[in-house]
Amino acid sequence: MTQYLITHFSDFQLACLGSFFLHESIFFLAGLPFIYLERAGWLSKYKIQTKNNSPAAQEKCITRLLLYHFGVNLPVMIFSYPVFKYMGMQSSLPLPSWKVVLSQIIFYFILEDFVFYWGHRILHTKWLYKHVHSVHHEYATPFGLTSEYAHPAEILFLGFATIVGPAITGPHLMTLWLWMVLRVLETVEAHCGYHFPWSLSNFIPLYGGADFHDYHHRLLYTKSGNYSSTFVYMDWIFGTDKGYRKLKALKSFGIEDDPKQM
């Protein structure tokens, strides 16, 4: 497969157009099912919030996403190509060893968590929330595709957290694609609005997941907390998950409370 790609396509085509096509495919294949689950009411017992989005709201999200992806994401990928080439990205054989790939992916997750956490907290300051981040929070009841529904400025601002790791290490293109797939699947799952018995947060320590991030969307910007991306240790270290942990403690005792009061 790799041999076919590098034989029939240029580095530019693979890194820019190939990455864009892969992103769109994984994002919509992972996100669209949650729209149908919500409309059909299937698996509703696992839905975190009882409220549903209207079909019009869902369609608005899809329309805006296509505009953002083609108008913002694709140009960014194209203009980022010289940077990645300069930093050492390659697509030729041989492929890197699994140890190299694993170490790079772990590094990307750690660095992305750190950068995203602080960037996200900054976006929750009064002016930036009102003029930029409030677009993402139009959906207080998130579903998978809302993960990338955001103001163009936010796409660029927080997108830096995703690309800074690969830009530093200059990975093989296949490693970059793997990172992209994992990151897309993670953010779609975090916004899906469902907490399943098989959700990763039930098995991976410190993994946030949908329940953790759904709490963030339900609250006013000044009280939200839960700013982390994939893992929750940054919120734990800086105490920005206290409201969420209090709510979880109350639920463990069979007491329901309004998260807006946390």
- Assess contact for 77 and 163: CB atoms under 8 A: no
What whole-number distance in Å separates Cα of residue 59 and Cα of residue 133?
20
Residue 69 within any structural domain of the chain? yes
**Domain membership flag for residue 7:** yes
User: Average pLDDT of 62-66?
Assistant: 98
pLDDT score at 38:
96
Q: Identify the pLDDT of residue 260.
A: 52
Q: Is residue 195 part of a domain?
A: no
Residue 10 scores a pLDDT above 60: yes
Evaluated on CA atoms 8, 13, 18, 21, the torsion sign reads negative
With respect to residue 236, please indicate whether it lies within any of the assigned structural domains: no
Residue 213, in any domain of the structure: no
56 confidence band (pLDDT: 50, 70, 90): very high
> Domain tally for the chain?
1
> Residue 251 falls within a domain, yes or no?
no
Q: Look up residue 70 and give its two tokens.
A: 């083609």
Domain ranges, residue 136: 2-189
CA dihedral 262→53→136→43, nearest 10 degrees, is: 70
Q: Which of 109, 64, 80, 83 is nearest to 16 (CA)?
A: 80
Helix axes 98-123, 152-169, angle to 10 degrees: 150
Cβ atoms within 10 Å of 4's Cβ, excluding its own = 8
In the prediction, which pLDDT does 8 show?
87
Q: Quick check: 41 pLDDT over 70?
A: yes
Is the residue at 176 inside a domain? yes
Does 152 have pLDDT greater than 50? yes
- φ/ψ of residue 112, rounded to 5: -65, -40
Residue 195 backbone phi and psi in degrees, to 5:
-120, 100
Flag whether pLDDT at 256 surpasses 80: no
What residues have CB less than 8 Å from 24, skipping those under 6 apart?
Answer: 69
Query: Looking at residues 234-250, what average pLDDT do you find?
Result: 93
Contact 52, 141 (CB under 8 A): yes
Residues facing 231 on adjacent strands = 207
- Count of residues for the chain? 262
Whether residue 257 has pLDDT greater than 80 = no
**Cα 155 to the center of its chain, rounded Å:** 11
Is the CB of residue 72 less than 8 Å from the CB of residue 152?
A: yes
Percentage of the chain with pLDDT > 70?
Answer: 95
Picking from 240, 56, 71, 261, the residue whose alpha carbon sits closest to that of residue 138 is 56
Band (pLDDT 50/70/90 cuts) for residue 235 is: very high
Tell me: the pLDDT tens digits for 65-114? 999 999 999 999 999 999 999 999 999 999 999 999 999 999 999 999 99
What confidence score (pLDDT) does residue 29 get? Answer: 98
pLDDT band at 261 (very low <50, low <70, confident <90, very high): very low
Residue 103 located in a structural domain: yes
Residue 5 has pLDDT above 90, yes or no: no
Please state the φ and ψ torsions of residue 255, each to the nearest 5 degrees: -110, 125
